[in-house]
Amino acid sequence: MRDNIAALLLRSFLKGLIILAPIAITAYVIWLVFYKVDTLIPMVPRGLGFVIIISSVTVIGYFGTRFFIGKAIFDFFDHVLERTPGIKFIYSSVKDIMSSFVGDKKRFTQPVWVRTHNTPDTWRLGFLTQEDMGYLGMEGHVAVYLPHAYAISGWVVVTASTNIRHVTTMSPAEAMKFAVSGGITISDENGPKTSKDRS
């Protein structure tokens, strides 16, 4: 009897943990981002620093893309930083990474299946980043970014174009979620379910 009660309490605790942990972690991340951004401007009331930073970034983004003078100023600084020894490597790397995820030049828009082994037949989900590696002496090859599960890192493989298949059943966002979740889920409610959902 006591064993049954203990097992019931343990299962209930674990189920409660599964329900509350994602909510708590999400709330903590939001609070952490808010706190870090808010404290960038010291000596101001709590919350005002966050509003100032977000508003400033929004205004800079608006004027930097909508008006000729603003665009010319930002293009000038971009030109200088791209050609400053030492700084250009950091600046260009950060700029390329940011452009890959947001903006008008997003790179992770072509999800593909990549054959990584022939025996046994093994495929990984990635994103096509270079459709022609001929400029590096790799004719007939492509570059694919393979994200790691439960991480923000990944690695790049260069493989023959015959080793990839374009993903047609998932959007780029769904493919990224599928990859980083370890294949557990995708965002489309009508998409594949886990084995537990099917049972």
What are the DSSP calls for 85-131, one per residue?
TTHHHHHHHHHHHHHHHSSTT-STT-EEEEEEETTTTEEEEEEEEES
Q: Which pLDDT does position 101 carry in this prediction?
A: 61
Burial 71-104, CB ≥16 within 10 A → b, else e? eeeeeeeeeeeeeeeeeeeebeeeeeeeebeeee
33 lies in some domain: no
Give the structural domain span for 122. 111-198
191 lies in some domain: yes
Mean pLDDT of 27-55: 91
Q: Mean pLDDT lowest for which of 42-46, 73-77, 102-106?
A: 102-106
Average pLDDT of every residue of the chain: 82
Q: Which pLDDT does position 12 carry in this prediction?
A: 92
CA distance 29 to 6: 33
1 lies in some domain: no
- Amino acid in position 20: L
27 lies in some domain: no
| DSSP reduced 3-state for 132 | coil
Nearest Cα to Cα of residue 113 among 151, 134, 142, 153 = 142
8 Å CB contact between 166 and 112? yes
Bond prior to 120 in cis (omega within 30° of 0): yes
Q: How many domains does the chain have?
A: 1
8 Å CB contact between 143 and 158? yes
Query: H or E element: which one contains 148?
Result: none
80 lies in some domain: no
106 lies in some domain: no
Q: Mean pLDDT lowest for which of 56-65, 90-99, 107-116, 126-135?
A: 90-99
- The pTM of the full predicted model, rounded to 2 decimals, is 0.57
20 lies in some domain: no
